[in-house]
A and B are shown apart, each in its own frame.
Chain A
Amino acid sequence: MTARIIHIARNTFREAVRDRVLYNLIAFALLLSAAAILVGQISIGIERLVVINLGLTAVSLFGVVIAIFIGIGLVSKEIEKRTLYTVLSRPVRRWEFIIGKFFGLAGTLAVNTFFMAIGVFGALLYVVHKFSAPDALILVALYFIILEFFIICSLALLFSSFSSPLLSAVFAFSLFVIGSFADDLRGFAGMAHGLTRWVVTGVAYLVPNFSTLNVVNAIAHQQPLSAQLILQNTFYALFYTAMALSGAVLVFERRNLK
């Protein structure tokens, strides 16, 4: 990784922090505190399940919203405000700019997730009073959520490299929704026939498979996760991210900055 990528990533992180992106943590903390207190009062025996489900789903949704709404502006905002001119007129390659931006946003989300994770474990401790061994699997779920953020960041960057922020948001959010039902889509493809089967199969494998990265329910129910799944999801997410980033770089390398 070149030093320039690190500088761009650090500046992107600083921008997110100064734009008060991390203020979402306050909303998250309030939500989780309220939920923990409420769950403690109304649930009997399923406090753990409710807190894990609610906490991890909130971590994912808060992060996805941040990833999309910051990601779509990462390139287009710099072009629109012409801040990019003084960056690209220096010895900075266009691909370095894209990769730096990606790491900056991914880093922001990782820090955000770290603090949210503390909140989830805190809320869990509040309702169950002590941790058990299966609770360690929450870390795996959080790891998968971060992998999910990597994919969304790269897709938002890809769309941002050629489209307006509004369209980029629509594309990225649509892909997130479709990707969340990727397993169902693959199931449907298996039942379809003829040309429909080919088309649906193609779409099902093209959209990001967020279903496989969502293990929140399994962990809440204390189901075991295989090492193979962890490895497979890691390779899948990194490959998908690399492909989307390559697409973003290819588009951006040819783009005229009018």
Chain B
Amino acid sequence: MSAIEILGLEKTYLVGFWRKRPKRALLPLHLQVEEGEIFGFLGPNGAGKTTTLKLLMGLVFPTAGTARILGRSWTDPEVKAQIGFLPEQPYFYDYLTAHELLDYYGQLSGVPGQDRKRRIEAVLARVGLTDIKGLHLRKFSKGMLQRVGIAQAILHDPKLVFLDEPMSGLDPLGRREVRNLIEQLKQEGKTVFFSTHILSDAEALCDRVAIIDHGELRSVGAVEDLIASVQGKVEMMWQGTQVPASLKALGAECHVTGDAVRAILAENQQDAAIDALRRERIRLIAITPLRTSLEAYFVEKLQSSPAAENTLGTAVGTKA
């Protein structure tokens, strides 16, 4: 069973005061997230990530489409007992302490009284918030509020956790702790769906990612597969300062440094380049494949023409 099945959810807002005009925040989205995986939902600001999460949480209503969460309709309130949600830049009732807030949320999620107190202490320790008893949330820093946000999302031991920009407002140490926490959630068998525009986090954590831009799904798949789909490059080094013309013809970028030449060229031109160097009796020192990062893939996806990507995005998205 899939943890999340998004079946053509779309959202169009009417904007303007007098003359309402439609603004498409999300084009029909088809996406599946399997149970137990960490799924990254990537995109630049305003891409439609938060709109998608709000649709799934029932905070906004779709113009069309439907979704299933944990095998049930996403509008079923009982499904919500099984999910946790961290909104982007969370803000909580600042007149409460973290313990009171979590107690309130625990009550709303139906956590029994005797279990609630134990769980509150456990999740606060888990997100690194200790010695905060009696401190009202209005005195919390942004990073501390983010930690409270994560604590409330996992308090009721949900099967599926939605995190909207979970690293936002955290210092490098805090980000590492949250990354570890997300990995622990996966080890506990939970599904984690998180949106981010910090690609290094997604690359380090996610089993699969989806890239969305201007409300449109651009691609989805395992991180390694997506990176591998980008044309790879290799770096070649040889002794001397000679740069054969045949190598330049292959599109190599050559730089002479001291008594060596460094050339970067497409991976599929590697054999031709080696032949060219042999013909010129040049001694090759090293060939190193250049690893493509998710960031490079992401930038390439966003810079490529939307029209050209339409077919690929929809096809891959539906298949996933």
- Residues on B with C-beta less than 8 A from A91 are 77-78, 80-81, 108-110
Q: Does A130 contact B (CB under 8 A)?
A: no
Our pick among B81, B83, B96, B107 for the contact of A3 (Cβ within 8 Å) is B107
Contact B60 A86 (CB under 8 A): no
The complex places the Cα of A19 from the Cα of B105 at a distance, in Å, of 20
Our pick among A14, A85, A89, A254 for the contact of B95 (Cβ within 8 Å) is A14
Q: How many residues of B contact A (CB 8 A)?
A: 30
* The stretch of B86-94, B241-249, B301-309 that contacts the partner chain: B86-94
Contact A258 B60 (CB under 8 A): yes
Contact B93 A257 (CB under 8 A): no
Q: A85-B90, A90-B81 are in contact. List 6 more A-B contacts (CB 8 A).
A: A19-B95, A85-B54, A86-B90, A88-B58, A89-B85, A257-B59
Give 21 pairs: A residue, B residue, CB < 8 Å, sorted on A.
Answer: A3-B107, A7-B104, A11-B93, A11-B104, A14-B95, A14-B96, A83-B92, A84-B59, A85-B57, A85-B59, A85-B87, A88-B57, A89-B59, A89-B85, A90-B81, A90-B105, A91-B80, A91-B109, A93-B77, A254-B61, A256-B59
B residues sitting closer than 8 Å to A (CB atoms) are: 13, 54, 57-61, 77-78, 80-81, 83, 85, 87, 89-93, 95-96, 104-105, 107-110, 149, 152, 162
- Residues on B with C-beta less than 8 A from A257 are 54, 59-60
Which chain A residue has the least Cβ–Cβ distance from B84?
Answer: A89
Our pick among A8, A18, A82, A256 for the contact of B87 (Cβ within 8 Å) is A82
Q: Does A92 contact B (CB under 8 A)?
A: yes
Q: Does A197 contact B (CB under 8 A)?
A: no
The complex places the Cα of A257 from the Cα of B60 at a distance, in Å, of 6
Distance (whole angstroms) from the CB of B13 to the closest CB of chain A: 8
Contact A86 B92 (CB under 8 A): yes
Contact B93 A83 (CB under 8 A): yes
Distance (whole angstroms) from the CB of B169 to the closest CB of chain A: 14
The complex places the Cα of A87 from the Cα of B107 at a distance, in Å, of 11
Q: Does A186 contact B (CB under 8 A)?
A: no
Distance (whole angstroms) from the CB of B264 to the closest CB of chain A: 46
The complex places the Cα of A219 from the Cα of B102 at a distance, in Å, of 48
With most chain B CB atoms within 10 A of its CB, the pick from A19, A87, A91 is A91
A4-35 vs B, Cβ < 8 Å mask (1 yes, 0 no):
10011001001100110000000000000000
- Residues on B with C-beta less than 8 A from A11 are 93, 104
With most chain A CB atoms within 10 A of its CB, the pick from B54, B77, B149 is B77
Our pick among B13, B61, B83, B89 for the contact of A89 (Cβ within 8 Å) is B83
Q: How many residues of A contact B (CB 8 A)?
A: 26
Q: Does A129 contact B (CB under 8 A)?
A: no
**Chain A, range 71-102, C-beta contacts under 8 Å to B:** 81-93
**Chain A, range 212-230, C-beta contacts under 8 Å to B:** none
- Residues on B with C-beta less than 8 A from A4 are 107-108
Which chain B residue has the least Cβ–Cβ distance from A79?
Answer: B59
A7-B108, A82-B87, A256-B61 known; A89+B93 contact, CB < 8 A: no
Distance (whole angstroms) from the CB of B28 to the closest CB of chain A: 18
With most chain B CB atoms within 10 A of its CB, the pick from A3, A18, A19, A256 is A256
Distance (whole angstroms) from the CB of B154 to the closest CB of chain A: 12
Distance (whole angstroms) from the CB of B1 to the closest CB of chain A: 20
A85-B59, A88-B57, A90-B80 known; A7+B107 contact, CB < 8 A: yes
Distance (whole angstroms) from the CB of B90 to the closest CB of chain A: 7
Contact B60 A256 (CB under 8 A): yes
Which chain B residue has the least Cβ–Cβ distance from A20?
Answer: B95
Distance (whole angstroms) from the CB of A100 to the closest CB of chain B: 10
Our pick among B96, B108, B149 for the contact of A92 (Cβ within 8 Å) is B108
- Residues on A with C-beta less than 8 A from B105 are 86-87, 90
Distance (whole angstroms) from the CB of B38 to the closest CB of chain A: 20
The complex places the Cα of A88 from the Cα of B28 at a distance, in Å, of 24
Distance (whole angstroms) from the CB of A257 to the closest CB of chain B: 4
Our pick among B96, B108, B110 for the contact of A87 (Cβ within 8 Å) is B108
Contact A89 B80 (CB under 8 A): yes
Which chain A residue has the least Cβ–Cβ distance from B79?
Answer: A91
